[in-house]
Amino acid sequence: MKQILWFRRDLRVSDSALLAYAEHEVLPIFIFDKNILSSLPKNDKRVTFIYHSVLSLKRELQSLGLDLAIFYNEPLNVFKTLSKDFDEVLCSIDFDAYAIKRDIEVEKLLPLKRFNDSFILNPNDHLKADETPYKVFTPFYKSLNLITQSSSIEEYKRNKKLKLANFDYRKVISLEELGFEKQDLPSFLYKNARELLKDFLSKIDSYQEDRDFFYKDATSKLSVHLRFGLISPKEVFNIVKKTKVKNSEFFIREIFWREFYNYILFHFPSSQEENFNGIKISWNQNEEDFKKWCEGKTGVPIIDAAMIHLNRTGLMHNRLRMIVASFLTKNLFIDWKKGEKYFALKLLDYEASSNIGSWQWAASTGADASPYFRVFNPYTQSSKFDKDGLFIKSVIKELKDVDPKLFHIENALSSNLFYNYPKAMVDISLSRKRAIENFKKAKDENL
């Protein structure tokens, strides 16, 4: 039997289901998917990161006596050619709408064996007593005590007896041939995942206390590496547990929030495009309002700085994501799906399940969501988590000499003769009141 090992979002040789379950003559491949790449701008930083990660995977496989064939095409076209000489495909499973449709089409050409290689949990294995899925995180997490409290989770062991199929592995397409320009990446992405984890574990004692302060270097920075599978969540879990650091439980819990959102998308695939709780809302359709939010021109310093930083770097701290999402869905009353799609275009660590789940949480439409009457005040948030305006000043250079107190007072900058800063798009108090009234009305109509 000849098997194709289709690497997708599992760009590693450690804890690899593909290398564990492969048994015969194998062709490892990676496909730069034209269906996905055609919708991205030429300066998309993710493509640069993925490109170099794929080349790194190729070198790692070569060191094991294997190799990686790299394609630039639509997956269906690739498998139409390969189906003549191979018997089956092994791949990591994905639960977003495009991935499901793509895999169904490929399976018409070759049998597809899917493995849970990007997450710890198989969503089918963790149901309530009545065999229905959990919808609230805390009972879901408590039901996993045997896993979360264990000292380690078994990782996949590589089959060392694999034979490499004959193929021309020499062709390596350039980034330019893919239609993209090489981008400078944030410095931490030039470190491997284990280096980042080691750095993080040296300061994990203060993680729970410091992680919301977005000007501090308090997070693990592993989300991009996890998204593209340069390290598996099982490996992260095991390294943390093996190190036996104090106060690691809070970080472990965050790993399982990622699992929860994947679990929700698996069991409720319609939540990718519909409000999870079924509520019908008449959102604000003003495109100019949405554009100002996207460009960081809202007149609210913390919102503007967060969005400008996202547009420049592809990065946004989790606390900032909650603040800008609350502002979009509550104060501007714009559909969460528009914000989700914008983040999908910009975030280096974009993961459909986590992004959809987090946006529905912020919009009070999702599983275990924030109550509709919880509306973040962006001025209170910036005052609490960036009192000295360090983040805002680092992003908006023209504000570097501003008294940071002005960042935390509504329209203080626009009212000051010395600064040419736009007035806030909406009154925070009035827009909050409007959002609560609209949500209450929608919920009443939904009964």
* Statement to judge: residues 310 and 441 lie in one domain: yes
- For the cut 70, the answer to whether the pLDDT of residue 323 exceeds it is yes
- For the cut 90, the answer to whether the pLDDT of residue 197 exceeds it is yes
Mean pLDDT of 133-156: 96
CATH number for position 337: 1.10.579.10
* Statement to judge: residues 301 and 228 lie in one domain: no
* Statement to judge: residues 128 and 238 lie in one domain: yes
Of the residues 64, 95, 117, the one at which a domain ends: 117
Residue 447 confidence class, pLDDT cut points 50, 70, 90: low
Mean of pLDDT over the chain: 95
Note whether residue 106 is domain-resident. yes
Residue 420 confidence class, pLDDT cut points 50, 70, 90: confident
Q: In whole angstroms, what is the distance from residue 89 CA to residue 109 CA?
A: 10
- pLDDT, tens digit, 9 for 90 and up, residues 251-301: 999 999 999 999 999 999 999 999 999 999 999 999 999 999 999 999 999
Name residue 4's beta-bridge partners.
27, 89
- For the cut 80, the answer to whether the pLDDT of residue 188 exceeds it is yes
| Residues 100 and 13: beta-carbon distance below 8 Å | no
| Residues 144 and 151: beta-carbon distance below 8 Å | no
* Statement to judge: residues 147 and 230 lie in one domain: yes
* Statement to judge: residues 206 and 344 lie in one domain: no
Q: Is the dihedral of CA 266, 269, 274, 277 positive or negative?
A: negative
- pLDDT, tens digit, 9 for 90 and up, residues 2-45: 999 999 999 999 999 999 999 989 999 999 999 999 999 999 99
| CB proximity list for 308: less than 8 A, separation 6 or greater | 295, 296, 395, 396
Q: In whole angstroms, what is the distance from residue 181 CA to residue 183 CA?
A: 6
Note whether residue 165 is domain-resident. no
Task: Look up the domain containing 104 and give its range.
Answer: 2-117
Note whether residue 135 is domain-resident. yes
Centre a 10 Å sphere on the Cβ of residue 433 and count the other Cβ atoms it contains.
12
| Residues 350 and 344: beta-carbon distance below 8 Å | yes
- pLDDT, tens digit, 9 for 90 and up, residues 352-398: 999 999 999 999 999 999 999 999 999 999 999 999 999 999 999 99
**How many structural domains does the chain have?**
3
* Statement to judge: residues 12 and 128 lie in one domain: no
- For the cut 90, the answer to whether the pLDDT of residue 155 exceeds it is yes
- pLDDT, tens digit, 9 for 90 and up, residues 424-433: 999 999 999 9
Note whether residue 208 is domain-resident. yes
* Statement to judge: residues 294 and 415 lie in one domain: yes
| Residues 308 and 244: beta-carbon distance below 8 Å | no
Note whether residue 396 is domain-resident. yes
SS3 state of residue 169: coil
- For the cut 90, the answer to whether the pLDDT of residue 94 exceeds it is no
Report field, pTM of the whole predicted structure over 0.85? yes
Note whether residue 162 is domain-resident. no
Note whether residue 163 is domain-resident. no
Note whether residue 169 is domain-resident. no
What pLDDT, on the 0 to 100 scale, is given for residue 445? Answer: 80
* Statement to judge: residues 327 and 433 lie in one domain: yes
Phi, psi (deg, nearest 5) at residue 26: -125, 150
Mean pLDDT of 214-231: 95
Of the residues 267, 301, 332, the one at which a domain ends: 267
* Statement to judge: residues 202 and 342 lie in one domain: no
Residue 166 confidence class, pLDDT cut points 50, 70, 90: very high
SS (HEC) of 350-396:
CCHHHHHHHHHHHCCCCCCCCCCCCCCCHHHHHHHHCCCCHHHHHHC
Residue that the structure tokens 């564990």 belong to: 20
- For the cut 70, the answer to whether the pLDDT of residue 103 exceeds it is yes
Phi, psi (deg, nearest 5) at residue 246: -70, 155
- For the cut 90, the answer to whether the pLDDT of residue 418 exceeds it is no
Residue 58 confidence class, pLDDT cut points 50, 70, 90: very high
* Statement to judge: residues 200 and 318 lie in one domain: no
Of the residues 70, 100, 117, the one at which a domain ends: 117
Residue that the structure tokens 């007149």 belong to: 299
- For the cut 90, the answer to whether the pLDDT of residue 415 exceeds it is no
CATH number for position 220: 1.25.40.80
* Statement to judge: residues 306 and 405 lie in one domain: yes
| Residues 372 and 336: beta-carbon distance below 8 Å | no
- For the cut 70, the answer to whether the pLDDT of residue 48 exceeds it is yes
Phi, psi (deg, nearest 5) at residue 241: -65, -40
* Statement to judge: residues 38 and 123 lie in one domain: no
CATH number for position 9: 3.40.50.620
Residue 237, token pair as written in the block? 């879990």
What pLDDT, on the 0 to 100 scale, is given for residue 64? Answer: 97
Return the minimum-mean-pLDDT range out of 105-119, 304-318, 362-376, 413-427.
413-427
Q: What b/e string do you get for 323-346 counting C-beta neighbours within 10 Å, with b at 16 or more?
A: bbbbbbbbbbbbbbbbbbebbbeb
